[in-house]
Amino acid sequence: MPGFAFFIAEDQTSVTSAEPLVEISGLHFSYDQKPVLAGIDMVFPRGKLIAIMGGSGCGKTTLLRLIGGQLSPSSGAVRVSGQEVHKMGQSGLYALRRRMGMLFQFGALFTDISVFDNVAFALREHTDLPEELIRDLVLMKLNAVGLRGACDLMPNELSGGMARRVALARAIALDPMLMMYDEPFTGLDPISLGVIGQLIRRLNDALGATSVMVTHDIQETMLIVDYIYFMSAGRVVAEGTPDEIRASTDPFVHQFVHAEADGPVRFHYPAPDLEQSLLGAASGGRA
């Protein structure tokens, strides 16, 4: 994939430095009064593919949005490339985001423009490249995800797996140094799932990027990532390389790896005792 070297030239010097690309320290965050993250510490070394795993609603998407600067933490810091994300002004943040790519949980393709224009969007907004060059770049990105032939389709004509891949092509359009994937595997059949997993790994290595992947598909994740963080109740509860995770005796990791319904992670959303709720309802509703 020769096209990938296109924008990363400026990045070459920093790729070799030992400093990690992303450092998260003591990160706390709440929506209104509801605490979501309660002290997260993570380090993403350059060039690695990192997975963040945890049950639905444990704050994974929130964490990605904090890294991208779309939310502000109540305390703690996120440093990307040495710069503290939440101390930057709007223009600094936008300059940083040009070098980040995010794959949204549901693709978030622009529905009013074609697949081609979706992938070309960032190139047209941020560069003055002539249209022929944009065309070549877009087709190269689409080729990398195997959808060059779909460039004239509209987003509503795509299947779920195809839409995910187009969103992926769009996210890598500017050859980001940091890629973030929000549940890239949900809703995909096993074949598309494997395809996307391999793509994520290949793109990370070809771009010389660093990637973070939020997911709960443990099997696929173990095959492709370099390092895994497990989150629960807003904290990191376990971490390690896939081999370390397999060997782990930690009850949380065990529950997750073996997909058990109840364990340290409760099946129930916190609620009053069932019997009490039912009796309460019978005697005149909530207090």
Partner 1 sequence: MNRLKAILTALGHGITERLWRLGFAARFFFLLLVHSGQTFSRPRLLLREIWFSGVLSLVIILVSGLFVGLVLGLQGYETLQRYGSSEALGILVALSLVRELGPVVAALLFASRAGSAVTAEIGLMKATEQLKAMDMMAVNPIARVVAPRFWGGVISMPLLAALFSAVGVFGGYLIGVVFIGVDEGSFWSQMQASVDFRTDIMNGIIKSFVFGIAVALIAVFEGYDSIPTAEGVSRAITRTVVTSALAILALDFVLTSFMFRGL
Ligand X SMILES: Nc1ncnc2c1ncn2[C@@H]1O[C@H](COP(=O)(O)OP(=O)(O)O)[C@@H](O)[C@H]1O
Footprint on this chain of ligand X (rule: CB under 6 A): 31, 34, 36, 56-62
Rounded to the nearest whole angstrom, what is the least distance from the CB of residue 213 to ligand X in the complex?
12
Rounded to the nearest whole angstrom, what is the least distance from the CB of residue 173 to ligand X in the complex?
24
Site for partner 1 contains 102 (CB under 8 A): yes
59 binds, among Mg ion, partner 1, ligand X, none (CB under 5 to 8 A by kind): ligand X
d(CA 51, CA 222): 9
Interface residue with Mg ion, options 61, 118, 210, 255 (CB under 5 A): 61
Nearest Cα residue to 15 out of 210, 213, 247 = 210
* H/E run at residue 200: helix 190-207
Nearest Cα residue to 210 out of 20, 17, 77 = 20
CB burial class (10 A; 0-12, 13-18, 19+) of residue 43? middle
Interface residue with partner 1, options 122, 177, 179, 231 (CB under 8 A): 122
- Residue closer to Mg ion, measured from CB, 20 or 107: 107
CA distances from 232 to 248, 266, 272 (A): 17, 10, 21
Rounded to the nearest whole angstrom, what is the least distance from the CB of residue 120 to partner 1 in the complex?
12
d(CA 37, CA 45): 22
Interface residue with partner 1, options 10, 125, 262, 273 (CB under 8 A): 125
Rounded to the nearest whole angstrom, what is the least distance from the CB of residue 203 to partner 1 in the complex?
17
